[in-house]
Chain A
Amino acid sequence: MATTQEWKFTAKEIAEKPDLFLPGHRACAGCGPANALRMIMKATRGPTIVTEATGCMEVVSSIYPYTSWAVPWLHTAFETSAANASGIDAALRILKQKGKLQEHVDVIAIAGDGGTFDIGLQALSGAVERGHDFLFVLYDNEGYMNTGIQRSGGTPMGAATTTTPAGSVMPGKLQHKKPIADIMVAHNMEYVASATPYYWKDMLQKVRKGLEVEGPAFLHVFAPCPRGWRSESAKSIEYEKLAVESCVFPLYEVVNGQYTLSTPSKLISLAPQKKRPVTDYLKGQGRYRHLFNPKNKYVLDEIQRWTDERWTILLKKAEQNA
């Protein structure tokens, strides 16, 4: 993979490139994932087939007889986007082998946190182990938002969801988020990265790098859900920024197991005083409102402790490769 290559995704270039995820979809105002997908599709490099798991982005973009997809697109089930990618990849390979297809076609599999951390993990693991050529895009809005805001393996500690409501004895979700990117790194993938639309250029470059990989690549995209997070629609982009600045969602790349911090997170590592407290990110989101009740301070402390610990571990991994 040409990891050193830099793509010049200028605002002008991006604006001029036609949308492949089209307007007119049914996503809510301020939807992080819809914004992410529109941007991500701007980074495609040629003929592309998209397959998507059941979830909010599938539901809002494919209501028959309408579609928001200007590329060939397949949905089969909740847990199958990576398995679909396997089948598409196998079909493209045989078509090439038989001389029925000349050009290269990129395959992008998209799933939310439910379809990735939870029900789709087995198929994803299998497809990656088999080495299929596809980019897996996880849009992580940290819950089963489409079914009514239930907890997923990607829901962070303390978040109130409809299956982990903030009650008199339970302060929202009791467990931390599953380290999905590390799990994918453990598959010995060539390319794993984290991204978020606020840092759009960084995200688009990572999409392109993932597509350039001949084999599986994984992109963890952080994308707020105003409905699920009980946050203001206009603040989604701001939360993307705050998540990075508080190190709740650091940006990095892992190329052949080598961790490298991406510029926004690198800057924080160089100037630790710029690292913001997690409360800067948590406050304002309705899903964390209960944590600001003094009796739940211990949860806020634990989120800060865990965030710091994860950040330190990441810094060590990145330092070792520096």
Chain B
Amino acid sequence: MKTDAKQQIMAMNGDEAVAYAVKQSNVDVVAAYPITPQTIIVEKFSEYVANGEVPTQFVCTESEHSAMAASIAASATGVRAFTATASAGLALMHEMLFVASGCRVPVVMAVANRALSAPLNIHGDHSDAMAERDSGWIQIFVENAQEAYDSIIQAFRIAESKNVSLPILVGLDGFTLSHTLENVTTLVDDVAKEFVGERELPLVQTHEGKSAPFKLDPKNPMTMGPIALQNYYFEFKRQQEEGMKNALSVIEKVHAEYAELTGRSYGNGLIEKYQLDDAEFAVVCVGSTAGTLKTVVDEIRAEGIKVGLLKLRTFRPFPVQEIQKALAEVSLVAVFDKSMSFGGNGGAVFHEVRHALYDNAAHPLIVDYVYGLGGRDTNPKEFKKIFHELHQIARSKRVEKLVSYIGLRE
């Protein structure tokens, strides 16, 4: 893909890439509370504010709960709002995440994915975001700092799309991405700003019967976040699901437009297929592990074993049809989960992928590998070993263990 947009290469870690994208996205209000490994995002953004580089109201709240409440309220007042968090901070926000999606406010949030207590652990896994999978937020997981930058820019367009109007979470792996330096190709300010554009508010009917932009505006009084009982609540939730469904095509469309502009793409924005077309068996993962697995796939392929990778970029809404299509021909699927679903017989991604493949005519065998909890390193050598194991399972067509743990002492 060719692009004419002028771009520049900058050395940034994942958190800085997020902060830089937010800086370029004409964000009106940032309300946040620091938590490792997200801290660099708010620190970097504070520098922009301190140096007058952004016309943004930065509210240093006294907790993540208030950060999300303030973000919702700012967004409800009609402006563009961003926040960032991780782990316990996201858990503290839990109640407010449902409020944000229920109020249909397009808040954008970066989550530097991290383990949850106890025991206390500050390192990366997906326990925080996976625990919020039913909160009504769009969830995108990125592979590297570049994708973090690109995804934040895209996120505002997706969330604010009138037939979506839902908050969005962009997850980047704690420390693996948040704290490691990479070359990140960035757009120049004007081009980024133009791509993101101004927030357009959907028109709704006020209680006075007028048509007005959806916001807290004294000229058009609107009651937002009311109580809805048995006679209306269900309809609100059904409409949220409609917004989620619409998000699938909007994510694809915005991703394609961005690819046109920058020359960078991640599959179709929902999933990214790597060496999957003629694969005998496939592995599925989310986040930075995709980078490692691409290398491992190449090495295994060099041995003559036909393996492919499906990187799941969009976790919510879950791209069921895309996954069904991408994995239609393989005989075995191995899912890599970086979080636990205690008592659930496998991790969250495993559940979802297995659920999607139930309707495929040729049922592939599906196994789950839980790995990397609390930042435990999983190196290419270990993955290679797993790939050889998978090759054997694919050949023998026999699964002895549905859920396994990688690199665990037991």
Question: Which residues of A come within 8 Å of B, CB atoms?
Answer: 47-49, 51, 58-59, 62-67, 69-77, 79-80, 82-88, 90-95, 97-98, 105, 122-123, 125-127, 129-130
Residue of B nearest to A86 (CB): B70
| Max count, chain A CB within 10 A of own CB: residue among B69, B79, B227 | B69
Are A73 and B77 in contact (CB-based, < 8 A)? Answer: no
Rounded to whole angstroms, the CA-CA distance of A125 and B219 in the bound complex is 31
Answer yes or no: B222 CB below 8 A from chain A CBs.
yes
Answer yes or no: B256 CB below 8 A from chain A CBs.
no
Are B62 and A49 in contact (CB-based, < 8 A)? Answer: no
Are B73 and A86 in contact (CB-based, < 8 A)? Answer: yes
List 24 A-B residue pairs with CB atoms under 8 Å apart, sorted by A's residue number. A58-B227, A62-B227, A65-B207, A67-B207, A72-B218, A72-B224, A74-B216, A74-B225, A75-B224, A76-B103, A80-B65, A88-B74, A88-B216, A90-B59, A91-B29, A91-B74, A91-B75, A91-B78, A91-B81, A95-B28, A95-B79, A97-B55, A97-B57, A126-B62
Rounded to whole angstroms, the CA-CA distance of A84 and B219 in the bound complex is 20
Are B29 and A80 in contact (CB-based, < 8 A)? Answer: no
Rounded to whole angstroms, the CA-CA distance of A122 and B62 in the bound complex is 8
Answer yes or no: B232 CB below 8 A from chain A CBs.
yes
Rounded to whole angstroms, the CA-CA distance of A84 and B225 in the bound complex is 12
Known pairs A64-B229, A95-B28; list 5 more (Cβ under 8 Å). Answer: A83-B70, A84-B69, A91-B28, A94-B28, A94-B29
Are A62 and B223 in contact (CB-based, < 8 A)? Answer: yes
Q: Which residues of A contact B220 (CB under 8 A)?
A: 72
Answer yes or no: B343 CB below 8 A from chain A CBs.
no
What 1/0 mask marks residues of chain B from 61 to 76 whose CB sits below 8 Å from any chain A CB? 1110111011111111
Are A88 and B227 in contact (CB-based, < 8 A)? Answer: no
| Max count, chain A CB within 10 A of own CB: residue among B56, B103, B216, B228 | B216
Are A126 and B96 in contact (CB-based, < 8 A)? Answer: no
Q: How large is the interface on B (under 10, 10 to 19, 20 to 34, 35 or more residues)?
A: 35 or more
Partner of B74, one of A82, A87, A122: A87
Answer yes or no: B47 CB below 8 A from chain A CBs.
no
Residue of A nearest to B217 (CB): A72
Known: A63-B227, A76-B103, A87-B81. A94 touches B56 (CB 8 A): yes
Rounded to whole angstroms, the CA-CA distance of A87 and B78 in the bound complex is 11
Answer yes or no: B134 CB below 8 A from chain A CBs.
no
Q: Which residues of A contact B28 (CB under 8 A)?
A: 90-91, 94-95, 98
Answer yes or no: B31 CB below 8 A from chain A CBs.
yes
Rounded to whole angstroms, the CA-CA distance of A155 and B61 in the bound complex is 29
What 1/0 mask marks residues of chain B from 7 to 49 whose CB sits below 8 Å from any chain A CB? 0000000000000000000001101000000000000000000
What 1/0 mask marks residues of chain B from 92 to 111 whose CB sits below 8 Å from any chain A CB? 00011001000100000000
Residue of A nearest to B29 (CB): A90
Answer yes or no: B60 CB below 8 A from chain A CBs.
yes
Answer yes or no: B202 CB below 8 A from chain A CBs.
no
CB of A121, distance to nearest CB on chain B (Å): 11
Known: A73-B223, A80-B96. A123 touches B65 (CB 8 A): yes
Q: Which residues of B contact A105 (CB under 8 A)?
A: 218
Rounded to whole angstroms, the CA-CA distance of A167 and B73 in the bound complex is 44
Are B61 and A74 in contact (CB-based, < 8 A)? Answer: no
CB of B196, distance to nearest CB on chain A (Å): 15
Are B55 and A98 in contact (CB-based, < 8 A)? Answer: yes
Are B70 and A84 in contact (CB-based, < 8 A)? Answer: yes
Rounded to whole angstroms, the CA-CA distance of A69 and B224 in the bound complex is 10
CB of B361, distance to nearest CB on chain A (Å): 45
Q: Which residues of A contact B218 (CB under 8 A)?
A: 47-49, 71-72, 105
CB of A118, distance to nearest CB on chain B (Å): 14
Q: Which residues of A contact B197 (CB under 8 A)?
A: none
Rounded to whole angstroms, the CA-CA distance of A115 and B59 in the bound complex is 21
